[in-house]
Amino acid sequence: MTSDLWHFTRGSELMRHRIALFGKSLSGLLIVFALALAGGIYWEASATLTQHDLTLVLLRLKAEAWMWLELDPAKETVLPDPGGYAIRLAVGQVSGHPLVVVAWGRMLAAITTGMTLGSLIGAPLVTGLWWWFRHFGQSTPAEHHDRGATLVSGRELDDQLTRFNARKRAESYRQIIGWLWWWKTLLTDLKTRDRAGLYRPYALAGYPFPWGQEVAHGMIFGTTGTGKTTVLRDLLYQARERGHRAVVFDLTGAYIEAFYDAERDVLLNPLDVRCPYWTIFHECRTREDFTAAAEALLPHDGGTSEPFWILAARLLFVEACLRLQLLGRTSNEDLARELMTTSLAQVHKLLRNTM
């Protein structure tokens, strides 16, 4: 419950900040568009309206406000005539006077034309600003990236890998086949190219490896059920299809169950009956060999604990192997019995007169 509340709170805060930032950006674009409209109206009004028209328009606005406030409509006011004469009439009659009606119509026409002109200027300007803001937002992270890996979309990754591998393939095949490599490869299928030793990248989760980078270190991580085993199985299917070799450390036996073929695969597990017969005595002959093996099989924990016990275990292993080798008892069964199941008296008897 606490985790759900935290996720809800965090999500709502992020959404609120995102909406606020978007609102600020959008308000800037709206202000630019409004300024374009105002500029168009001002330009058109300055070109088409006279000072007398503006005076009549202001008088009508004043009369409308007077009537809206429900003041005395019979109050007398003065309306200027184009010839310089003063026309006296009631405030309630100003809006219907012919001179005012004509001036008001000119003003509305100027506003309509000015808004059209402002829209023709403001719309492309706002669109250009929108595109520039979006482009700037996309390019800024790339501009500040110094080194190392970056997170990209699947389409971008596929495009980059395709272009890179196409360039590398042309260079590699040109050296091996010659300048007509594209024609020769076009006439052959993939299996024929594989048998001829022509390299082609493996694919990982549907994306090709960079040319020749399968031998580089890699890591696949994720929670249970995310597809790690599926991805590795796909790599093994590709290796088997091409006739390539692979060394698989199969801790759980899942890959043995899915891929093991007794005619072509080799199991290296002394505890599995399908493993070719092997003992440590096949690898070691001298004290130095057994000492190196003991250090690998019994590594130090790297801590500050007393090293006596790990050193003693190594010494016991080395001396037991040397004595069994001397006695001609060089099987895994002999080594396991003498070190793990026999009595201390038998161990003492075996290692008598050794170090």
CA–CA separation, 39 and 101 (whole Å): 25
Q: How far apart are CA 26 and CA 300, in angstroms?
A: 64
Report which DSSP code applies to 341: I
Angle at 309 between CA 334 and CA 296, to 5 degrees: 60
Alpha-carbon torsion 324, 330, 332, 337, what sign? negative
**Bridge partners, residue 80, by sequence:** 86
Query: Which letter, b or e, does each residue of 292-306 get, where b requires 16 or more Cβ atoms within 10 Å of its Cβ?
Result: ebbeeeeeeeeeeee
pLDDT at 351 (0 to 100): 80
Handedness of CA 112, 115, 119, 120 (dihedral sign): positive
Report d(CA 87, CA 99) in Å as an integer. Answer: 11
Q: What is the pTM of this model?
A: 0.46
For the purposes of burial, counting CB atoms within 10 Å of the CB of 36, is it exposed (0-12), middle (13-18) or buried (19 or more)?
buried
Q: Show pLDDT as tens, one digit a residue, over the chain (355 residues).
A: 566 677 777 778 878 888 888 888 888 888 888 998 898 888 988 888 888 888 888 888 888 888 888 888 888 888 887 777 778 888 888 888 888 888 888 889 988 988 998 888 889 888 888 888 888 777 665 555 566 677 788 888 899 999 999 999 888 888 888 777 777 777 777 777 777 778 888 998 888 999 888 888 888 888 888 888 888 889 999 988 888 888 988 888 888 888 888 888 988 887 788 888 888 898 899 999 999 999 988 887 665 566 788 888 898 899 999 989 988 998 888 888 888 888 888 878 888 877 6
Is the backbone of residue 204 left (phi > 0), alpha (psi -120 to 50) or beta? beta
Task: Give 131's contacts (C-beta < 8 A, 6+ positions apart).
Answer: none
Q: How far is CA 2 from CA 6, 8, 14, 73, 85, in A?
A: 6, 10, 18, 68, 82
CA nearest neighbour of 242 among 209, 193, 182, 204: 193
Residue 74 in tokens: 């019979």
**Residue written as tokens 């059920």?**
225
Q: Are 107 and 53 in contact (CB under 8 A)?
A: yes
- CA 44, chain centre distance (Å): 52
The whole-angstrom separation of Cα 165 and Cα 252 is 35
CB 77 within 8 A of CB 89: yes
pLDDT of residue 301: 67
DSSP annotation string for 60-128: HHHHHHHHHTT--TT-EEEEE-TTS-EEEEEGGGTTTSHHHHHHHHHHHHHHHHHHHHHHHHHHHHHHH
- What pLDDT shows up at residue 60? 87
Residues facing residue 208 across a β-bridge: 203
One-letter identity of residue 199? Y
Collapsing DSSP states into helix, strand and coil, what is residue 203? strand
Tokens 């999500």 locate to 11
Q: What pLDDT sits at residue 199?
A: 84
Phi, psi of 307 (to 5 degrees): -75, 0
SS3 (DSSP) at 41: helix
